[in-house]
């Protein structure tokens, strides 16, 4: 069954999510929000659902993986209480029809949208990110004889980085000309290629990670948001797997740095050494949020100072790699390399060379780091 407005309505009625009366009375609203998968929003009074359906082999697999994640986190005894309210509610997975039904965070705005709209970087929002990721990573640590490895997929390292080192035919088929330019530059840079080759030794399978962390995936639940109660949920778990938690943290750092960098007007009319002072979002305004996020994450993970130091350095190195991925993704919709992508690449190289300096001067994290 392929989901359409008609088949979806019938499916939701037959499975008890909406009533015939509410549909006839016009209480039910359906909206098509399809991207990689078929995605529909179903609004029925106070209830709201996001319905996903995978069509090809890859999408079917990602939907099934996301269903496994939601089902485990909300039913496992150790995680269901602590993760409640931090992710959307899971309602149903139908493997026969490849359909997943989860809570729609109704009228939710993501943190990227909020930051762009308000130019304010709330410390509470940043702390919420730290709580979500710290709770997830802490509760799903791999221990002796832990069966998490049998439940979830494992990720040796981000697939994108593997493709960078050893491009396959798919890279050339699906990459834009700008993205291919970027790959060529990376492969010709000995420092970057050496760094990417070190990933195999750095990467550790330690816990369940989201794998696709970015500010757009942290959504504010407007139904329960008040001045004193900022509830944020992490969405889009299709790529989640057992992996290295430092990748999720580096991805948060990358999101904040990208927000800053893309707000810098790069123009022939402005001298390069003056670019940064015209940033819409100065890095000095973002740094307190980054610091609050990191402090809350360390607290939730119960890391002592020595361990947190080592982990932070590793996460910052991953930030460098995540910036490259961000540049690639941005280039996919461009005809040529932009100044912002070139700056992303240069920032990545700078962080890779001097991670300790990046921690204090770039991220603004107030933690003494031993060389």
pLDDT for residue 41: 92
The sign of the CA dihedral 210, 213, 219, 220 is positive
**Ranges 106-115, 148-157, 318-327, most confident:** 318-327
Using CA atoms, how far apart are residues 257 and 335, in angstroms rounded to an integer? 24
Is 0.85 topped by the overall pTM?
yes
- Does residue 368 have a pLDDT over 60? no
pLDDT for 279 = 86
Domain layout of the chain by residue ranges: 5-103, 109-362
The pLDDT of residue 130 is above 60:
yes
Average pLDDT over residues 262-283: 76
Angle between helices 177-188 and 339-353 (to 10 degrees): 30
Class for the domain spanning 109-362: alpha beta
Model pLDDT for residues 72-99, shown as the tens digit of each residue: 999 988 899 999 999 999 999 999 999 9
Q: Using an 8 Å Cβ cutoff, are 133 and 249 in contact?
A: yes
Average pLDDT in the chain? 87
Q: 10 Å Cβ neighbour count for 136?
A: 25
Confidence at 271, pLDDT banded by 50, 70, 90: low
| Reported confidence tier of residue 10, pLDDT bands at 50, 70, 90 | very high
Res 89: pLDDT: 94
pLDDT of residue 190: 82
Q: Is the pLDDT of residue 268 over 70?
A: no
How far from each other are the two terminal CA atoms of the chain, in whole angstroms? Answer: 59
Task: Place 257 in a pLDDT band, splitting at 50, 70 and 90.
Answer: very high
Q: Which of 58-72, 155-169, 239-253, 339-353 has the lowest mean pLDDT?
A: 155-169
Residue 327 has pLDDT above 50, yes or no: yes
Topology of the domain comprising 5-103:
Phosphorylase Kinase; domain 1 (3.30.200)
Q: Which of 54, 81, 85, 83 is nearest to 67 (CA)?
A: 54
Comparing 29-43, 97-111, 247-261, which segment has the lowest mean pLDDT?
29-43
Tell whether the torsion through CA atoms of 75, 80, 84 and 86 is positive or negative.
negative
The residue ranking higher by pLDDT, 142 or 315, is 315
Does pLDDT of 108 surpass 70?
yes
């Amino acid at each position: 069954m392929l989901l359409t407005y008609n088949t979806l309505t019938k499916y939701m009625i037959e499975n008890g999510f909406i009533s015939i009366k509410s549909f006839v009375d016009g209480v039910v609203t359906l909206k098509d929000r399809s991207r990689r998968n078929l995605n529909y929003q179903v609004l029925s009074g106070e209830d709201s659902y996001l319905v996903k359906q995978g069509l090809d082999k890859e999408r079917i697999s990602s939907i099934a993986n996301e269903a496994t994640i939601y089902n485990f986190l909300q039913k496992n005894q150790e995680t269901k209480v602590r993760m409640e309210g931090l992710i959307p509610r899971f309602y149903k997975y139908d493997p026969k029809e490849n359909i997943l039904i989860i809570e729609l965070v109704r009228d939710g705005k993501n943190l990227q949208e909020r930051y762009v709209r308000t130019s304010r970087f709330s410390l509470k929002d940043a702390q919420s990110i730290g709580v979500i990721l710290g709770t997830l990573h802490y509760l799903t640590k791999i221990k002796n004889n832990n069966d998490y490895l049998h439940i979830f997929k494992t990720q040796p390292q981000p697939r994108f980085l593997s493709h960078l080192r050893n491009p396959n035919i798919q890279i050339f088929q699906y990459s834009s000309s700008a993205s291919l330019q970027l790959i060529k530059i990376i492969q010709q840079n000995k420092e970057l290629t050496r760094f990417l080759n070190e990933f195999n030794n750095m990467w550790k399978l330690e816990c369940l990670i989201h794998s696709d962390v970015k500010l757009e995936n942290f959504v504010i639940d407007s139904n329960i948001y008040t001045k004193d109660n900022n509830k944020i949920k992490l969405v889009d778990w299709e790529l989640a797997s057992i992996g290295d938690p430092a990748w999720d943290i580096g991805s948060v750092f990358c999101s904040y740095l990208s927000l800053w960098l893309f707000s810098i007007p790069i123009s022939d009319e402005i001298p390069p050494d003056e670019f940064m002072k015209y940033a819409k979002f100065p890095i000095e305004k973002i740094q307190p949020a980054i610091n609050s996020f990191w402090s809350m994450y360390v607290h939730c993970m119960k890391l002592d100072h020595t361990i947190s130091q080592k982990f932070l350095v590793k996460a910052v190195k991953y930030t460098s790699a995540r910036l490259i991925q961000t540049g690639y993704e941005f280039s996919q919709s461009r005809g040529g390399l932009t100044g912002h992508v070139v700056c992303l690449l240069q920032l990545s190289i700078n962080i890779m060379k001097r991670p300790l300096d990046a921690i204090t001067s770039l991220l603004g994290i107030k933690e003494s780091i031993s060389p």
